[in-house]
Amino acid sequence: MTQARSAVEFDPVVPHGDNGIVRSRGRQAKAPWWLWLGALALVGPLLLAIGSLFLRVFDATPAAWDTLFSTRTLGLVWRSFALTATVTATACVLGVGGAWVLARTDIGFRRGWGVLIALPLVIPSYVLAMVIISATGATGLIADLTGYTFPSISGFVGSWIALSLSTYPYVYLITSAALTRVDPTLEDAARGLGATRTRVFRTVVLPQLRPAIGAGALLAALYTLSDFGAVSLMRFDTFTRAIYAQYSGRIDRSPAILLSIVLILLAAVIITAEWRTRGRGSIFTSSPSRSASRVRLSRAGRSLWTAGLAALVAVGTVVPIAVLGGWVLQGLANDVEFVIPWNAVVGSITGATLAAIVAMAFTIPTVVLIVRHQSKRTEVLEKSIFALFSLPHITIAIAVVAFTVTWLRPVYQSLGVLVAVYAAMFLAQSVSSAKSSLMAIDPTVDDASRSLGRGRFQTLWRVQLPLMRTGLLAGGALVFVTTLKELPVTLLLSPPGFSTLAVRTWAAADELLYTRAATAALILVAMSVIPVYFLSIRRRESVGS
């Protein structure tokens, strides 16, 4: 009959429990129109251009449908898929392994390794392929130097190696940045509970890195899907190679357009798959209170990891640069005229710098929209941006030529359009980089700014922008580097007289002028070293100042 109650029994109070839940669900504030305008101003026209190209399926010839429904198409889908899957898996292993050993162990020469293993990012995949082909085989560089005949590499294996090298830096760079945000106390807690180091990595570290690895893997997968240079030199038939063949071998455009649509669907499957596997865990990670203590490697472990890093750097960086250098020297020995293509140097720097700046500028509203005003519509926007990254560049180029000639004739073949297309097609890279920065920031700082009388725009400019600065700049650096490598869009959309180092490399190599090709390629690599250095050291910075 008698009850004695206390408040605590009455209703268990979890310390500041309700706020997280209510806040994250109550966050779906309506986005202001100008954010949408900012996010769509760049990719919108490109999506329209591609959409209007795709509308031509309705004029598709019977031959085009025959091409699409031939048994070959299924083979192409399978080969593209198999290559994408193996390359992505390899990129994840190499990228995560490299990121972990450099961020979390006491292995020596870390800063140097950090830059070196990111470097393959800047070597165009067709140059990598060219180098691999010329280094291997009976008369290859390896055989010349060592006398040992390294089997010549081509086809699936060759494409797999070249593209894995080209793409693992995406996973490495994004995972490295994320590793600094993983709170080491969780690892200590797990080890305190008796977990081995391997188990801690598998059960605590890896799940926390999942969003970062996923973002890197998605970029790697879509890059592989869109690649033409490596697979064509390696003679491995993929969708993109078939699309190029249809473009160049036909007057009728519709077969290529049909195949491009199938490729977009393939990309959509990959993008959706990555979306689905994103955990339901927390998205807001705060910067950890202390930095992680480094794992002390055993003598054997140190040798093993060092050997692994050395092998990676040798294959991905040293051999390509050595081969390129060898070509230059060989040409000089045979009195081939040595020319530095200044016009192309200026073109590369101008195009890539402008593309990076434009991409960063449009990344800001896009990321704020995606992270702070998440909705079905922003998901569509984000997926479209990634789909653009997966399209063969020739499809984008043809679409933009047709679109600008029809609707934007005064700016046709202007530097402005070229830069805008670069920025839009590579926006996925800066978006995924800046997104992780903004997601790490407690959204109440936005509220704080607004409660202090600053509007959304001022909040964007004075709070969100500075806070995602590092991620944004890293994204800009990625765009810079990929723009430097770009070929088909540059060829078709650039103003007459405009040239880049990638164009020079390709054109000279096509004419077997290896000295010139190698000169241009080496300058290209040298130019990318600064942004790559920046990319690989930024993980040392924390979000706070």
Partner 1 sequence: MTTPIISVSDASVSFDDTRALDGFSLDVPVGALVALVGPSGCGKTTALRAIAGFQDLDAGTVSIRGETMVSDKINVPPEKRRVGMVFQEYALFPHISVAENVGYGVRGSDRVRRVAEVLDLVGLAEYGSRFPNELSGGEQQRVALARALAPEPDVVLLDEPFSNLDAPQRERMRRELKHIIRAARVTAVLVTHDQSEALAIADIVAVMRSGRIAQVGAPPDVYRSPVDPWVAGFLGDAVMFDSTVVEGVIETPIGDLDSDVPSGTDVQVMVRPEWIRPVQSPTASACVTDTEFYGHDQRAEITLADGSVIEAMVPSIDAIKVGDTVTLTLLDAVVFDRKEPAGLA
Partner 2 sequence: MKRLIVLVAALAIIGTACTSDDGSNSLTLYSGRSEDLVQPLIDQFEEETGIEVTVKYAGSADLAATLNEEGDASPADVFFAQDPASLGTVALAGLFEPLSEEILSMVPDRFSDSDGAWVGTSGRARVVIYDSTKIDASDLPSNENPFVDEEWAGRVAIAPTNGSFLSFVAAKILVDGEDATLEWLEGMAANDQPRYSGNSPIVEAVNSGEVEAGLVNHYYLLRALAENPNEVGRNYFFPEATAGSLVMPAGAGVLASSDNKEAAETYIEWLLGEFAQTYFAEETFEYPLVPGYPANDVLPPIESIPTPDIDLSELAPLLDTATDLVAQAGLL
Residue 283 CA neighbour count, 13 Å, CB half: 17
Binding flag, residue 22, partner 1 (CB under 8 A): yes
* 485 interacts with, out of partner 2, partner 1, none, CB within 5 to 8 A per kind: none
- Measured at the CA of 53, the angle between CA 48 and CA 58, to 5 degrees, comes to 120
SS3 sequence, 485-521?
A: HCCHHHHHHCCCCCCCHHHHHHHHHHCCCHHHHHHHH
Residue (281 or 466) nearer to partner 1, CB: 466
Q: Of the candidates 186, 182, 191, 192, which has an alpha carbon nearest to the alpha carbon of residue 288? A: 182
Residue (294 or 462) nearer to partner 1, CB: 462
Could you give the string, one character per residue 270-299, with x where binding to partner 1 holds by CB under 8 A and - elsewhere? -----------------x------------
* 444 interacts with, out of partner 2, partner 1, none, CB within 5 to 8 A per kind: partner 1
- Measured at the CA of 384, the angle between CA 381 and CA 385, to 5 degrees, comes to 90
Q: Which residues pair with 351 in a beta bridge?
A: none
- Amino acid at residue number 29: A
* 354 interacts with, out of partner 1, partner 2, none, CB within 5 to 8 A per kind: partner 2
Are 30 and 356 spatial neighbours (Cβ–Cβ below 8 Å)?
Answer: no
Interface stretch with partner 1, choices 6-14, 265-273, 373-381, 497-505 (CB under 8 A): 6-14
Residue (78 or 109) nearer to partner 2, CB: 78
SS3 sequence, 458-469?
A: HHHHHHHHHHCH
**Tokens 């690895």 identify what position?**
213
Binding flag, residue 466, partner 1 (CB under 8 A): yes
Binding flag, residue 540, partner 1 (CB under 8 A): no
Q: Which residues of 394-420 are buried (b: 16+ CB within 10 A; e: fewer)?
A: bbbbbbbbebbeeeeeeebbbbebbbb
Least distance between partner 1 and beta carbon 537 (Å): 19
Binding flag, residue 33, partner 1 (CB under 8 A): no
How far apart CA 175 and CA 209 sit, in angstroms, is: 7
Alpha helix stretches (DSSP H) within 153-298: 155-179, 184-192, 197-200, 206-226, 229-234, 239-248, 254-277
Residue (268 or 357) nearer to partner 2, CB: 357
Burial (Cβ within 10 Å: 0-12, 13-18, ≥19) of residue 454 = middle
The residue ranges that bind partner 2 (CB under 8 A) are 63, 67, 70, 72, 133-134, 137-140, 152, 232-233, 235, 237, 241-242, 244-253, 330-331, 334, 336, 350, 353-354, 357, 394, 397-398, 401-402, 405, 409, 412-416, 419, 465, 488, 491-492, 494-499, 503-504, 507-516
* 193 interacts with, out of partner 1, partner 2, none, CB within 5 to 8 A per kind: none
Helix (H, G, I), strand (E, B) or coil at 140: coil
Residue (204 or 493) nearer to partner 2, CB: 493
Q: Of the candidates 292, 320, 277, which has an alpha carbon nearest to the alpha carbon of residue 119? A: 320
Binding flag, residue 450, partner 1 (CB under 8 A): yes
Least distance between partner 1 and beta carbon 450 (Å): 4
Binding flag, residue 444, partner 1 (CB under 8 A): yes
Q: Residues 328, 360, 467, 518: which binds partner 1 (CB under 8 A)?
A: 467
Could you give the string, one character per residue 384-403, with x where binding to partner 1 holds by CB under 8 A and - elsewhere? --------------------
Helix (H, G, I), strand (E, B) or coil at 105: strand
Interface with partner 1 (CB under 8 A), residue total 44
206, two tokens: 């890896």
Binding flag, residue 194, partner 1 (CB under 8 A): no
Q: Of the candidates 179, 269, 220, 256, which has an alpha carbon nearest to the alpha carbon of residue 87? A: 220
- Amino acid at residue number 63: A
Interface stretch with partner 1, choices 161-169, 336-344, 401-409, 445-453 (CB under 8 A): 445-453
Least distance between partner 2 and beta carbon 434 (Å): 15
- Amino acid at residue number 407: W
Interaction site with partner 1 (CB under 8 A) = 1-7, 10-11, 13-19, 21-23, 25-26, 29, 287, 442, 444-445, 447-456, 462-463, 466-467, 469, 543-545
